[in-house]
Amino acid sequence: MNSYLFVYGTLKSDSEHPAAVRLRECARLAGTGHVLGRKRAMGRYFGLTQLPGEEDRVHGEVWELANPEEAFRWLDPYEGPDYERVETPVTMADRVATAWCYRTVILS
């Protein structure tokens, strides 16, 4: 299973959210990068849309999960039903990596 996760909100390394702290305990920051899509307000949080033709960039971080299966057992419920986990290309400084990313399934 792919061990990379792209984050763009409450899970970033500068966040003190309990889920971000937990992520730092089970993953290593691999670098920064961007994905194609748009960041959209979803109430108190943001969502990522990746619709055909969207060429905007959403900047974030790439984390390498020590144990992806274990991490996704708590990450999927944390993200909730408004988000789906998909693999997407992430452009980093030195390469394009494939990483899991949570994108919104509901446009608001």
Residue 61 pLDDT greater than 50, yes or no: yes
At 108, the pLDDT band (50, 70, 90 cuts) reads: very low
- Residue 53, pLDDT > 90, answer no
pTM of structure: 0.93
Q: Are 6 and 38 in contact (CB under 8 A)?
A: no
Q: Angle, nearest 10°, between helix axes 18-26 and 68-79?
A: 170
Residue 51 pLDDT grade (very low, low, confident, very high; cuts 50, 70, 90): confident
Which DSSP letter does residue 106 get?
S
Better-predicted residue by pLDDT, 45 or 16: 16
**Cβ atoms within 10 Å, residue 38:** 17
